[in-house]
Amino acid sequence: MPVDTEIKVELPNAKDAFEALSQKRAVVNYASIDNRRKRLKKLLQWIMKNRDRIKAAVYKDFQKPGVEVDVTEIYPVTGEIKQALTHLDQWMRPTKVDATITYLGTRSEIRYEPKGVCLIISPWNFPFNLSVGPLVSCLAAGNAALLKPSEDTPNTSKLIAEMVDEVFEDEVMVMQGGKELATEILAMPFDHIFFTGSPGVGKIVMKAAAENLTSVTLELGGKSPCVVHKSANIKDTAKRIAFGKFLNNGQTCIAPDYILVEEGIKNKLITELKSQVNKLFGEEGQISEKASSYGRVINERHFDRLNDLMQDAIEKGGKLELSGEIRKAPRFFHPVIISDVPLNARVMMEEIFGPILPVVTYKEESEVIKVINSKPKPLALYFFGSDKKFREAVLQQTSAGSVCINDCVLQFTHPNLPFGGVNNSGIGKSHGYYGFLAFSNEKPVLKQKRGFALSYFFYPPFTNRMKALIEPILRWL
Ligand code: NAD
């Protein structure tokens, strides 16, 4: 079904929206499990019924192929909903906590209360998935939500607003706009902010949150390294890297950003990568504008940025191993592989976020750890190879938000794994149970019994008898 061509720019008032949601706080926050489930089921039904509309909107924004939308936008969200529907009773159930000796006589548990009114700000690269996915966790945890999707994908953002209108009453609101609107919204004292976007804007969000001491989950980006050891199966490795890198036109936060490959197998890997990229994304042996499995760069600003990154790498001595048509008007950027890239090329210093893959070689294994640790902690780290000793050295001596061994990007959709970054690549975790926790206040509740309590031993006056009692407690308990 086609999406309206006319995009209405709404100018909502952030304060009014926040206040309206705050009014709903009590109703939403005390919602029973049945009500939460009802909301999630309604959302699931809407998504399944409107799959074609979602595909049409995302296609209109950046020509993402329909099947790719199914796999990378719709399935991760429906998976999140089903996971929540199956496990919500278990997630919401208070966790009993054992008493230690000094707490004998008490009973304790951790309850999971909704944080309240939450803000979700999302990016353009998976515009449906990264807006509605966090909303699922937010609703599962029993909150009201204000959602601000990206201004760079206006068709998808408009459809999300329509979806919210059709599915929810007034416990969820959508506001469409860019930086100015986001700034206005961020001034409100939300109970939690879930932000997905660049580390630069993440810092702005965290500063604004600090004004109200609002908790944050920051899902950010960075340069995710991909290490290829000589013990790797080159064919499998190339196929999986080609998929993880050029999916969504390389505009994936966890795409392998650059390859670190052992010198001796570089040529073999590049030959295989070229062949796999063509097989996966090409038609009749080549990747052209007609290729139906290959998307587009989001806008001209990013197109120019990517072109500059590529030119800079070539000027600094990089060797173009794979390239093709690069046309600004249709924002078509053929997959690019560049070898012999010096570490001071921009492509090795900035997050690429597009279809350019630099290949850097190493001789000694220690060089790999040095290169990774010379950059801020990445969102993901990929290791291809069967050499356990080297693999463990890389894992133990570097830090990353997540790791995937002998594959790429799969860790994102695993329903039982937490997803998130570390420091520059993010703060906090999301998905499944971890998403539920991000939007919940883990509230400890301790229940004391009547009459004598062990804690009386520590009440004043601080007599010598009490001092004598404290000695063994400090020593042995
Ligand atoms: P961005 O940071 O430019 O924008 C993200 C959102 O922030 C948008 O909704 C935008 O309107 C809003 N925004 C922009 N300026 C703002 C300001 N000054 N104050 C408040 N809000 C503002 O990011 P992007 O270009 O949309 O997305 C690309 C980045 O997102 C990359 O760095 C990528 O790695 C990262 N990313 C991370 C994840 C993850 O899960 N960790 C997922 C996707 C993308």
Q: Which is the catalytic residue, given 219, 262, 272, 321?
A: 219
What the block records as the tokens of 227 is 């290490």
**pLDDT-derived band of residue 8, with 50, 70 and 90 as boundaries?**
very low
130 close to ligand 1 (CB < 6 Angstrom): yes
Q: Which atom of ligand 1 is nearest to the CA of 151?
A: 11
142 close to ligand 1 (CB < 6 Angstrom): no
Burial class (CB in 10 A: 0-12, 13-18, 19+), 171: buried
Strand pairing partners for 413?
A: none
10 is catalytic: no
Q: Which pLDDT value is given to residue 4?
A: 43
- 36: CA distance to ligand 1 center in Å? 28
Q: Which atom of ligand 1 is nearest to the CA of 177?
A: 11
444, 103 in Cβ contact below 8 A?
Answer: no
What is the residue with the minimal CA distance to atom 37 of ligand 1? 220
The mean per-residue pLDDT over the stretch 278-296 comes to 91
**Ligand 1, residues 146, 150, 252, 379: which to mutate, most atoms within 8 A of Cβ?**
150
- Residue 7 pLDDT exceeds 70: no
Q: Which is the catalytic residue, given 138, 253, 404, 408?
A: 253
225 closest CA partner among 371, 363, 365, 342: 371
pLDDT tens-digit readout, 401-440 = 999 999 999 999 999 999 999 999 999 999 999 999 999 9
- 97: CA distance to ligand 1 center in Å? 39
**What are the residue ranges spanned by the domains of the chain?**
14-220+428-441, 225-417
The mean per-residue pLDDT over the stretch 40-68 comes to 97
**% of the chain with per-residue pLDDT over 90:** 89
What is the residue with the minimal CA distance to atom 32 of ligand 1? 198
299 close to ligand 1 (CB < 6 Angstrom): no
- Residue 180 pLDDT exceeds 70: yes
- 201: CA distance to ligand 1 center in Å? 6
**% of the chain with per-residue pLDDT over 70:** 97
314 close to ligand 1 (CB < 6 Angstrom): no
**pTM score of the predicted model:** 0.95
Q: Which atom of ligand 1 is nearest to the CA of 202?
A: 2
388, 363 in Cβ contact below 8 A?
Answer: no
The mean per-residue pLDDT over the stretch 124-135 comes to 98
- Residue 46 pLDDT exceeds 90: yes
What sign does the CA torsion over 266, 269, 272, 278 have? negative
Count CB atoms within 10 A of the CB of residue 402: 23
Q: 3-state class of 95 per DSSP?
A: strand
The mean per-residue pLDDT over the stretch 219-226 comes to 97
pLDDT tens-digit readout, 431-448 = 999 999 999 999 999 999
**pLDDT-derived band of residue 12, with 50, 70 and 90 as boundaries?**
low
What is the residue with the minimal CA distance to atom 9 of ligand 1? 150
The mean per-residue pLDDT over the stretch 88-117 comes to 96
- 310: CA distance to ligand 1 center in Å? 23
User: Rounded CA gap, 387 and 119, in Å?
Assistant: 44
Give the chain's mean pLDDT: 95
> CATH says 14-220+428-441 is which class?
alpha beta
**pLDDT-derived band of residue 5, with 50, 70 and 90 as boundaries?**
very low
What the block records as the tokens of 68 is 């790719």
- 31: CA distance to ligand 1 center in Å? 31
Residue 216: its H or E element = strand 215-219
401 close to ligand 1 (CB < 6 Angstrom): no
Q: 3-state class of 344 per DSSP?
A: coil
What is the residue with the minimal CA distance to atom 21 of ligand 1? 182
Q: Which pLDDT value is given to residue 274?
A: 97
Task: For residue 211, report the phi and psi dihedrals to the nearest 5 degrees.
Answer: -55, -35
Q: Which atom of ligand 1 is nearest to the CA of 199?
A: 32
pLDDT tens-digit readout, 105-125 = 999 999 999 999 999 999 999
118 is catalytic: no
- Residue 392 pLDDT exceeds 70: yes
Cα-to-chain-centroid distance, residue 131? 10
- Residue 53 pLDDT exceeds 70: yes
pLDDT tens-digit readout, 317-369 = 999 999 999 999 999 999 999 999 999 999 999 999 999 999 999 999 999 99
- 455: CA distance to ligand 1 center in Å? 50
**pLDDT-derived band of residue 26, with 50, 70 and 90 as boundaries?**
confident
What is the residue with the minimal CA distance to atom 42 of ligand 1? 253
Q: Which pLDDT value is given to residue 11?
A: 47
Query: Residue 461: is the preceding peptide bond cis (ω within 30°)?
Result: yes
> CATH says 225-417 is which class?
alpha beta
Q: Which pLDDT value is given to residue 423?
A: 98
What is the residue with the minimal CA distance to atom 43 of ligand 1? 253
What the block records as the tokens of 369 is 């750890």
Q: Which pLDDT value is given to residue 28?
A: 72
pLDDT-wise least confident of 1-15, 140-154, 359-373, 422-436: 1-15
- Residue 6 pLDDT exceeds 70: no
User: Rounded CA gap, 285 and 281, in Å?
Assistant: 9
Q: Count CA atoms within 13 Å of residue 436 on its CB side.
A: 23
